[in-house]
Amino acid sequence: MFAIRRCAACDKLFGPLIAACSACASDDLEWVPSSGAGSIVSSRRVHRAGDPHGLSTPLIIAIVELDEGPWVYTCLEGEVPLIGIGPVRVRFRPSPRRDGFPVFEVADRGNRMFR
């Protein structure tokens, strides 16, 4: 299950990394389930160093707007559409990424993962 934060005082929804409500300043946040589906707001391909042989690894970083509304900073897997802002869904891995960001997979709405 992918979880997001909800302010207990005003019910505003936020991504998982928020520490306090930006609407009412409350720090009384609770975890609530999210569908894990959304759309790409912005993305960029970057090359990260870190390979022991000095090679760079391509990585697509993005901002995803979840279907519930909050924006999430993330990494994408799959080809990002050149036109439009393709749908995505969170993808769980056996071991979490070191940077703490969720990974989303790009897919079209006809894909079985969106049914």
User: Which of the four pLDDT bands, split at 50, 70 and 90, describes residue 106?
Assistant: confident
pTM recorded for the entire structure: 0.74
Rounded-to-integer distance, Cα 49 and Cα 72, Å: 24
Rounded-to-integer distance, Cα 95 and Cα 57, Å: 19
User: Which of the four pLDDT bands, split at 50, 70 and 90, describes residue 114?
Assistant: very low
